[in-house]
Amino acid sequence: MTLHILMFGWEFPPRMSGGLGTACYGLTEALTGLGHRITFVLPRDGEANAAPFLDLRSASDIPVSDADRDLGTETLLRPLTFRSFPSLLRPYLHPRHYHTLYLSERRRAPETATVYGPDLIAEVLRYSRAGGILARTLSFDMIHAHDWMTVPAALLARRISGRPLVLHIHSLEYDRSGEAADERICAIERAGLERADRIIAVSHRTKRMIVERYAIDPQKIFVVHNAVSRAEARRTGRDREFGKRKMVLFLGRVTFQKGPDYFVEAASLVLRDLPDVTFVMAGEGDMLGPLIERVAELGIGDRFHFTGFLQGEEIERIFSLSDLYVMPSVSEPFGISPLEAMLYDVPVIISRQSGVAEILKHALKVDFWDVREMAAKIIAVLKHPVLARAMTTQALDEIRKIRWENAAERIVSAYRELAPK
Amino acid sequence: MPSVCLYFQVHQPLRLRRYSFFDIGRLHDYEDEAENRRILNRVAEKCYLPAGALLLQRIEEYGGSFRFAFSISGPLLDQIERHRPDVLEGFQRLAATGCVEFLNETDSHSLAFLFSPREFEAQVIRHRERIRSLFGQEGFTFRHTELIYSDALAAAVERMGYRAMLAEGTEKILGRRSPNRVYRPAGRAKLKLLLRNYRLSDDVAFRFADRNWPEYPLTAAKYAHWIHRIRREEAVVNLFMDYETIGEHQWQETGIFDFFRALPGEILRHGDFRFQTPAEAAATHDAAGEIRSPSFISWADDERDTTAWLGNAMQRDAARKLYDLEPAVLGRKDKRTLRNWRILQTSDHFYYICTKWFSDGDVHRYFSPYESPYEAYINYMNILDDFSQSVKHAKERNHD
């Protein structure tokens, strides 16, 4: 039986800032490949030809009448009042730094910046109204929403259509901000988690957090790990220049969640024993300034480089120059970038506090706080080419087996339990 | 007269401590004492003591008709001599019955033959002497670590005076012939070969508690019936397995003790059948044919070769670097250095680095103290680095 799914997402290639867009692309491609129809709602203009397999809609194109303004989104999320929300909320960044970062990213990468506009909550609101309108005008079997930004829209659509809601959690507020979590975002997450008919978590770790933080019934939560798209899996590694200085890469937002500070401390330990290694930190974020100072203080500035925000070909180039990729995340619901590194034949070290650690065998794992162990493992990979080669050869085989088709099948089985018989 | 030849391998490695890169040059003892003692104590309580008592009681009950063999590895002898004299005494009581043969092997449970024939011989001699002094037995039968076997190994073993040797009864060397006969290694005049019947052995060692196995539950009566059905001219059924099968790999709750309690009686119920030790079986049966094995075989994994220890580049790198140190180690003429070098030779360390995860993975993971083969390799290479530095620095000092 073909299902028609109304899907709410916040980003989609080529406009995206993180793994969420990549995951939505891989997942919708695989779901439509299984014969299901998807209407995918984005907040702003999508590039329709980016995904011919989808019915891609942008909320900003949907005319909102005065009647639609009062659909009752606010009461859905009581006791919250949207109007009182400050305008600089963000999905991934700390509020204190959101605006500065927004401005700096807009300068560097205007396309990315528009995905998360300067007034995010107003956007979330507008978006939810569009969700309500679509729910009234379209016929569909299932609602599938990705992360907190789409929760108001999805709840509204559920109320109007009476269709079941599957909430897909790629990242929780606690992952992004730790104990500094924003209570208002947590409240939206809670409303979504409590009212969704099924929850999909990208890892067992995320499922555990949902159960512990929000007291949600674990029976309601399915774990479906992310995967690698077929187009990506066709890419192959390349020969690294012989005899050049070894390079160790950190790539990601330079924020609390990603543990960049642990990477800096590990680098300084490594450099004491292996002085001829280069460390590269690629990305932007609120911890960048303090970390540049810390690198200077450690006196390793000649071996530690900051590239700022990279995208597109720059990312490909930095991966292909790397001899090792380290993901020291403090809290990572899944973490798709190690899979990318593996596609470039780069061995990876990942934190045990990541969802991807649940499925990767051919990676070294380390507790993010154990800087000595992180340094020791970095040294091991750099010192023993035999180890690096063994890891990357096996990893390439492993990664080709992590397919979106399998993830999509698991998600469909969750749909089936909900679909009217 | 057909016979059943039962041999138990008794082995626990000296596991290495977690050894970080930052420990190199600072820490020079490599054993994980606490973990080794913890595991030794657990296995002693679950297997060595109760199984030993059971076997002794069966020997007494059947007055010499129940006979079998042990091969006790050097690393385990080290550990029970140091920490569990009660376990050692248990083995000595069994030896005193005259019904138990103690086999010889490479003292460090090593792969030395594949890298250094000289070191191989030194380890066999050392193990032979230990068995002689602890159990009062002269080595007659040899079995190599992990039942590794080849033509060249058979030649070396015969040269050292052995008259029987054990190997895996794989089709690789048997073709369509039966494992239940005594064979002669190609080109050897005195040495005889006993081949493991892997189906019957693994029915107990691996499948005993498997509820999905159609033959579950396996009773001693059923098992003896299978053995009694074997054609009479096929004279020797070789059941070789880890001693830890009794109570450790197969827990007491599975009924494994009841199985072994009843087995002697069930086998001997058929008047034509008897138990023999490997030495007795080799002495009383003529060779039914020749076995040729130009390459190495073993009892491990589906491949029955040496790839569980030396199959990937990390394993070969670690082993080659270890044996490259031989001249320097011997040059030291220092007991502690030699002992450390030999601890690092135990095959288990290489087994932990095995990456054949997708087919045989579960067995490897069950036995490995490491999170992954990569961690095992890193740990081993850190220790080897420290060991290598200590050997070489001392050499420089000697030149002064």
Question: Which of A376, A384, A391 has its CB closest to that of B20?
Answer: A376
Q: How far is B27 from chain A (nearest CA, A)?
A: 15
Interchain CB distance below 8 Å, B20 and A380? no
A393 reaches B (C-beta below 8 A): no
Question: Which of A361, A375, A380 has its CB closest to that of B378?
Answer: A380
pLDDT at A66: 59
Same domain, B254 and B343: no
Interchain CB distance below 8 Å, B313 and A386? yes
Residue A303 scores a pLDDT above 80? yes
> Which residues, including other chains, have CB under 8 Å from residue A25's CB and lie 6 or more apart?
A12, A13, A51, A229
> Rounded to whole angstroms, how far apart are CA atoms B137 and B97?
12
Interchain CB distance below 8 Å, A376 and B357? no
Q: How far is A180 from chain B (nearest CA, A)?
A: 33
DSSP-derived 3-state class of residue B72: strand
The more confident residue out of B358 and A169 is: A169
Task: Determine if the peptide bond prior to A14 is cis (ω within 30°).
Answer: yes
Question: Which of A361, A372, A389 has its CB closest to that of B22?
Answer: A372
Q: Contacts from B323-327 at CB under 8 Å and sequence distance 24+? A: B323/B112, B323/B115, B323/B116, B323/B119, B325/B387, B325/B388, B325/B391, B326/B116, B326/B118, B326/B119
B192-196/B182-185 β-pairing: antiparallel
Of the residues B146, B158, B248, B280, which is catalytic?
A: B146
Tokens representing B154 are: 């058979």
Task: Determine, yes or no, domain membership for B43.
Answer: yes
**Number of folded domains that form chain B:** 2
The H-or-E segment that residue B4 falls in is: strand B3-10
Considering only CB atoms, which chain B residues are within 8 Å of A380? 21, 378, 381-382
Task: Tell me the average pLDDT across A356-375.
Answer: 95
In percent, the amount of chain B with pLDDT more than 70 equals 96
Instruction: Name the DSSP letter for residue A35.
Output: T
Same domain, B21 and B87: yes
Interchain CB distance below 8 Å, B21 and A273? yes
Interchain CB distance below 8 Å, A386 and B374? no
Question: Which of B22, B317, B374 has its CB closest to that of A391?
Answer: B374
Interchain CB distance below 8 Å, A386 and B21? no
Same fold flag, A4-227+403-418 and A231-400: yes
What does the pLDDT look like over A3-18, one tens digit per residue?
A: 999 999 988 877 666 6
CATH of residue B226: 3.20.110.20
Same domain, B88 and B226: yes
Task: Determine, yes or no, domain membership for B380.
Answer: yes
- Write down the domain spans for chain A: 4-227+403-418, 231-400
pLDDT at B360: 44
Task: Tell me the average pLDDT across B79-106.
Answer: 97
Same domain, B100 and B176: yes
The residue of chain A nearest to residue B19, with distances taken between CA atoms, is: A376
Same domain, B251 and B350: no
The more confident residue out of A68 and A338 is: A338
Indicate if B253 belongs to the active site. Answer: no
pLDDT at A97: 43
Same domain, B186 and B319: no
The residue of chain B nearest to residue A380, with distances taken between CA atoms, is: B378
Interchain CB distance below 8 Å, B20 and A372? yes
Interchain CB distance below 8 Å, B374 and A362? yes
> Rounded to whole angstroms, how far apart are CA atoms A329 and A97?
20
> Rounded to whole angstroms, how far apart are CA atoms A300 and A314?
24
For residues B204 and B226, is the Cβ–Cβ distance under 8 A?
no
Taking CB atoms and an 8 Å cut-off, how many pairs form between chains A and B? 49
A362 reaches B (C-beta below 8 A): yes
Task: Determine, yes or no, domain membership for B189.
Answer: yes
Task: Determine, yes or no, domain membership for B273.
Answer: yes
Tokens representing B140 are: 């007659």
Considering only CB atoms, which chain B residues are within 8 Å of A361? 357, 372
Same domain, B214 and B321: no
Q: How far is A393 from chain B (nearest CA, A)?
A: 11
Q: Which domain holds residue B67?
A: 3-291
Considering only CB atoms, which chain A residues are within 8 Å of B22? 372, 375-376
pLDDT at A351: 97
The more confident residue out of A74 and B383 is: B383
The more confident residue out of B272 and B322 is: B322
The neighbour count for residue A63, using CB atoms within 10 Å, is 7
| H helix runs in A196-246, sequence order | 204-214, 230-233
> Rounded to whole angstroms, how far apart are CA atoms B20 and A266?
14
Quote the Cα angle for B18-B300-B83, to 5°: 45
Same domain, B219 and B323: no
The β-bridge partners of A15 are: A12
Q: How far is B377 from chain A (nearest CA, A)?
A: 8
pLDDT band at A114; cut points 50, 70, 90: very low
Considering only CB atoms, which chain B residues are within 8 Å of A387? 314, 374, 377-378
For residues A172 and A210, is the Cβ–Cβ distance under 8 A?
yes
For residues B147 and B168, is the Cβ–Cβ distance under 8 A?
yes
Same domain, B7 and B129: yes
Q: Give the CATH class of A4-227+403-418.
A: alpha beta
pLDDT band at A108; cut points 50, 70, 90: very low
Residue A287 scores a pLDDT above 50? yes
A396 reaches B (C-beta below 8 A): no
The residue of chain A nearest to residue B357, with distances taken between CA atoms, is: A361
Q: How far is A166 from chain B (nearest CA, A)?
A: 34
Considering only CB atoms, which chain A residues are within 8 Å of B373? 390
Same domain, B191 and B327: no
> Which residues, including other chains, have CB under 8 Å from residue B303's CB and lie 6 or more apart?
none
Question: Which of A273, A364, A376 has its CB closest to that of B374?
Answer: A364
Domain boundary among the residues B227, B262, B291 is at: B291
Domain boundary among the residues B231, B262, B291 is at: B291
Interchain CB distance below 8 Å, B313 and A389? yes
Same domain, B260 and B343: no
Considering only CB atoms, which chain B residues are within 8 Å of A273? 21
Cβ-based interface (< 8 Å): residues of B facing A: 20-22, 312-314, 317, 355, 357, 371-375, 377-378, 381-382
Q: Which of these ranges, A282-286, A366-370, B94-98, B357-361, has the smallest mean pLDDT? A: B357-361
Highest mean pLDDT among A52-66, A236-250, B159-173: B159-173
Considering only CB atoms, which chain A residues are within 8 Å of B364? none
Q: What distance lies between CA B289 and its chain's CA centroid?
A: 26
Q: Which of these ranges, A338-342, B161-165, B338-342, has the smallest mean pLDDT? A: A338-342
> Which residues, including other chains, have CB under 8 Å from residue A141's CB and lie 6 or more apart?
A3, A4, A5, A163, A415, A419, A420
Interchain CB distance below 8 Å, B21 and A380? yes
For residues A272 and A111, is the Cβ–Cβ distance under 8 A?
no
pLDDT at B221: 96
Task: Determine, yes or no, domain membership for B382.
Answer: yes
Same domain, B283 and B317: no
The more confident residue out of A24 and A73 is: A24
Interchain CB distance below 8 Å, A377 and B378? yes
Task: Determine, yes or no, domain membership for B346.
Answer: yes
ipTM for the whole complex: 0.82
Per CATH, the number for A231-400 is 3.40.50.2000
Interchain CB distance below 8 Å, A372 and B372? no
